[in-house]
A and B are shown apart, each in its own frame.
Chain A
Amino acid sequence: ETGVTQTPRHLVMGMTNKKSLKCEQHLGHNAMYWYKQSAKKPLELMFVYSLEERVENNSVPSRFSPECPNSSHLFLHLHTLQPEDSALYLCASSQDLGSYEQYFGPGTRLTVT
């Protein structure tokens, strides 16, 4: 498999559930990102990892918890979410932290009920 993959593609969860989003990149890249995309709004950068080290946490609520066990995998652990957290969550990778071309996965469409 090539490129950036994400699972699951769709997720419906209650506010008290705990779930995790998974991202895997097969490009040999060193940087990985989590974005949130809500309708009619710009992509919001949530977390950035470079060589498995977290570089940035953009004031994201603690109910979102990232994990990067190695340079190919990125997780987003979800706990006690709110309905306004419903959105498309996109994972991306780039060759290095300074690269302008980011390769995105297909996203996970999350609905919080």
Chain B
Amino acid sequence: RKEVEQDPGPFNVPEGATVAFNCTYSNSASQSFFWYRQDCRKEPKLLMSVYSSGNEDGRFTAQLNRASQYISLLIRDSKLSDSATYLCVGKTDSWGKLQFGAGTQVVVTP
């Protein structure tokens, strides 16, 4: 079983709509979680951290549910530039090893 699992999508979203998707993790010892974004044919970049209390950054909201072992990302008022693959990332070891999911593809259409 993969440590971090994501729905590969694609999630086709009309411009201006809201889209939300989850990621599940199997290692209950995972300490920290993050969302990275990877544009087509580009490198991954950190989007935001995920906290149990929720974390909002502009149109993006991330949430962690430790009881059910999932992380969510919600994008409001979707823009064409939000089209990308969103990678869910967990961090267990103190030295910084990141466990990446395979990514969820989001396609925002005009």
- The interface centre, meaning the residue of A40, A97, A102, A107 with most chain B CB atoms within 10 A of its CB, is A102
Taking CB atoms, residues of chain B closer than 8 Å to A41 are 102
Instruction: A105 to B45: give the CA distance in the assembly, Å.
Output: 10
The interface size bin for chain A is: 20 to 34
- Tell whether B81 is near chain A: CB-to-CB under 8 Å: no
Query: CA of A96 to CA of B94 in the docked complex: distance in angstroms?
Result: 11
Q: When the two chains form their complex, are residues B96 and A106 in contact, meaning their CB atoms are under 8 A apart?
A: no
Q: Tell me which of B44, B46, B49 contacts A43 (CB under 8 A).
A: B44
Q: Is the CB of A97 within 8 A of B43?
A: no
A90-B98 CB under 8 A given contacts A100-B32, A100-B34: no
Contacts of A48 on B, CB cut-off 8 Å?
A: 97
Question: Nearest chain B CB to A102's CB is how many angstroms away?
Answer: 7
Complex-state Cα separation, A55 to B94, whole angstroms:
13
A104 near B43: Cβ-Cβ < 8 Å: yes
Indicate with 1 or 0, residue by residue over A80-102, a CB within 8 angstroms of chain B CB atoms: 00000000001000101111111
What are 29 A-B residue pairs whose CB atoms fall within 8 Å in the complex? A4-B43, A40-B8, A42-B4, A42-B100, A42-B103, A43-B100, A45-B97, A45-B98, A48-B97, A56-B97, A90-B43, A90-B44, A97-B95, A98-B95, A98-B96, A100-B46, A100-B49, A100-B91, A100-B96, A100-B98, A101-B46, A102-B46, A103-B45, A104-B43, A104-B44, A105-B43, A106-B42, A106-B43, A107-B43
Other than A45-B97, A100-B32, A103-B45, give 17 A-B pairs with Cβ distance below 8 A. Answer: A42-B4, A42-B99, A42-B101, A42-B102, A42-B103, A43-B44, A48-B97, A50-B95, A55-B95, A97-B95, A97-B96, A99-B96, A100-B46, A100-B49, A102-B98, A104-B45, A106-B42
